[in-house]
């Protein structure tokens, strides 16, 4: 018996150990970092941005307002069933012109019978010029909401581009800091070797030691900046604050810059801000029309089909209770103490303000597109200079280090060359990010993102 228990425990522990090993082998696969391109990052940001989702909600609400305004122009069909009882007058049916099944006349003049049952379908149609203006206004407001949603997503694009390439630049700066720290350590070892050989003074070793410590501090700062950039991007992309991701480094593959004439032509038709101002002016114009429509008559049509009888039945004493009735009502406004005129003036004030805002939006667009294009063109032109400066700084450090080993340069020249290389490479990475952000801003203005 004891032997069986021991065998059972051994088998169980073996199976548990195998499961633990399998879980350990599978965990690296399940915890593999998510690789994101810029388009992937934009898709995640659209799905998780609260501001963008709020803009989409406003667009959906505006669309439903248009649906409701359109439905108000169409006929409606309702079915009504009611039963009413009126106290009898206490006289026989033969003694009055109003007869009932119970042989009694109703007490009240407005009542048709003591027992009255109504079961009818009603087709209702109201015809007014104001209803059509309300529908057109709702359609214009939907266009405004759609353009504002596009503005929200394009503003989100600029933010994501800045943070996406900001993380890539931070990673590159961290790599540069590692290289600079390794170079400082190598130079410290060289200076120690030269001091041991009696070729340099101990002050050179002290200077190299200070440079090495500075590079170690820069390395820690670069690590901190990279972690902060990752956290900022994670907040934008993921609802569960996921930091286990990597980004594709395509910083040097920036698209070319088109001509100013092409961007200006696109801005006249695809700029969302200009579309907002245009649609707002159209909505204000339709609001004036809807307010003016209150001066005109309103025609209401109703068609009834069903029963209106003393019994809830299709036939009563051989008489068919089913019937139909059609009514047409024309309502002519005569006097409302100037309320309609006040609404027209109010709507016209809004229309004039919307017209001024459209003119301002057109002028601002021309100024913004010129400024954004100048920024993108300047940053693109500077990239070649920044790249050349970084390459020259790397070559200068190599040659200065060789000259120092040959005793032809001082330690200060080597330290200066190291600092120059670090600054030049950092400036180049910042320049690439600047060009990417400027290009994204320009494309959001022209609607080409």
Question: Is 413 within a domain?
Answer: yes
Token digits of residue 310:
């003393």
Question: 395 and 259 in one domain?
Answer: yes
Helix, strand, or coil (residue 271): coil
129 vs 326: which has the higher pLDDT: 326
Average pLDDT, the chain: 82
CATH number at residue 87: 2.20.200
Give the helix, strand, coil percentages of the chain, each rounded to 5. Answer: 70, 15, 20
Q: How many domains are there within the chain? A: 2
pLDDT mean over 112-134: 87
Question: Is 324 within a domain?
Answer: yes
Q: Residue 326 forms beta bridges with which residues? A: 303
405 vs 167: which has the higher pLDDT: 167
What are the φ/ψ torsions at residue 81 (nearest 5 degrees)?
-130, 125
In sequence order, what are the residues at sequence separation of 6 or more whose Cβ sits closer than 8 angstroms to the Cβ of residue 52? 45, 46, 149, 152, 153, 156
For 385-409, the pLDDT digits (tens) are 888 898 998 898 889 888 888 888 8
Question: 189 and 69 in one domain?
Answer: yes
Question: 266 and 206 in one domain?
Answer: yes
**CB 79, CB 269: distance < 8 Å:** no
For 50-89, the pLDDT digits (tens) are 888 888 898 899 999 889 988 888 898 999 998 888 888 7
**Model confidence band, residue 448 (pLDDT cutoffs 50, 70, 90):** low
Q: What is the pLDDT at residue 228?
A: 92
Question: 382 and 364 in one domain?
Answer: yes
Q: What is the pLDDT at residue 186?
A: 87
Q: What is the pLDDT at residue 406?
A: 82
Q: What is the pLDDT at residue 447?
A: 60
Single residue among 332, 356, 387 that ends a domain in this structure: 332
What are the φ/ψ torsions at residue 341 (nearest 5 degrees)?
-60, -40
The continuous run of DSSP H or E covering 120 comes out as strand 115-127
Burial of 376 (0-12, 13-18, 19+ CB in 10 A): buried
Question: 375 and 322 in one domain?
Answer: no
Question: Is 28 within a domain?
Answer: no
Question: 236 and 310 in one domain?
Answer: no
Q: What is the pLDDT at residue 97?
A: 47
Domain that holds residue 172: 35-74+129-296+338-446
Q: What is the pLDDT at residue 301?
A: 92
Question: 370 and 239 in one domain?
Answer: yes
Q: What is the pLDDT at residue 260?
A: 79
**Model confidence band, residue 449 (pLDDT cutoffs 50, 70, 90):** low
Q: How far apart are CA 11 and CA 5, in angstroms?
A: 10
**CB 78, CB 125: distance < 8 Å:** no
Cα 33 off chain centre by: 26
**Model confidence band, residue 122 (pLDDT cutoffs 50, 70, 90):** very high
């Amino acid at each position: 018996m004891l032997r069986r228990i021991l065998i059972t425990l051994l088998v169980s522990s073996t199976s548990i150990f195998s499961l633990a090993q399998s879980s350990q082998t599978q965990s690296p696969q399940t915890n593999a970092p998510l690789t994101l391109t810029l388009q992937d990052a934009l898709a995640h940001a659209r799905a998780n941005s609260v501001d963008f989702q709020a803009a989409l909600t406003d667009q959906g609400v505006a669309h439903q307002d248009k649906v409701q305004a359109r439905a108000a122009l169409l006929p409606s069909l309702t079915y009504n069933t009611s039963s009413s009882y009126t106290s009898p007058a206490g006289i026989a049916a033969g003694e009055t012109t109003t007869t009932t099944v119970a042989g009694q006349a109703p007490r009240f003049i407005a009542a048709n019978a003591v027992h009255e049952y109504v079961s009818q379908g009603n087709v209702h149609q109201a015809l007014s010029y104001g209803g059509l203006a309300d529908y057109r206004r709702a359609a214009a407001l939907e266009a405004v909401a759609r353009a504002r949603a596009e503005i929200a997503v394009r503003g989100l694009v600029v933010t994501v581009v800045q943070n996406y390439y900001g993380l890539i630049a931070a990673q590159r700066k961290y790599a540069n800091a590692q290289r600079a720290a390794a170079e400082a350590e190598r130079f410290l070892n060289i200076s120690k070797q030269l001091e041991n050989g009696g070729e340099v003074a101990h002050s050179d070793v002290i200077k190299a030691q200070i440079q090495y410590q500075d590079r170690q501090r820069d390395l820690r700062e670069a690590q901190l900046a990279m972690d902060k950039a990752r956290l900022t991007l994670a907040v934008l992309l993921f609802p569960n604050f996921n930091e286990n991701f990597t980004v594709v480094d395509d910083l040097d593959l920036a698209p070319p810059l088109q001509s100013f004439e092409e961007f200006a032509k696109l801005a006249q038709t695809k700029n969302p801000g200009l579309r907002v101002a245009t649609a707002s002016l159209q909505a204000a114009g339709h609001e004036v029309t809807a307010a003016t429509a209150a001066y005109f008559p309103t025609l209401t049509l109703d068609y009834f089909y069903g029963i209106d009888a003393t019994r809830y039945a299709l036939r009563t004493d051989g008489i068919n209770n089913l019937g139909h009735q059609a009514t047409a009502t024309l309502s002519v406004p005569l006097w409302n103490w100037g309320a309609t005129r006040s609404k027209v003036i109010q709507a016209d004030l809004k229309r004039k303000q919307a017209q001024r805002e459209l003119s301002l939006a057109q002028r601002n667009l021309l100024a913004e597109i010129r400024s954004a294009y100048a920024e993108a063109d300047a940053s693109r032109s500077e990239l070649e200079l920044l790249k050349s400066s970084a390459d020259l700084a790397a070559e200068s450090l190599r040659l200065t280090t060789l000259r120092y080993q040959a005793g032809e340069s001082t330690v200060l020249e080597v330290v200066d060359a190291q600092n120059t290389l670090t600054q030049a490479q950092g400036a180049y990475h910042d320049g690439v990010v600047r060009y990417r952000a400027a290009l994204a801003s320009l494309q959001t203005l022209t609607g080409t993102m």
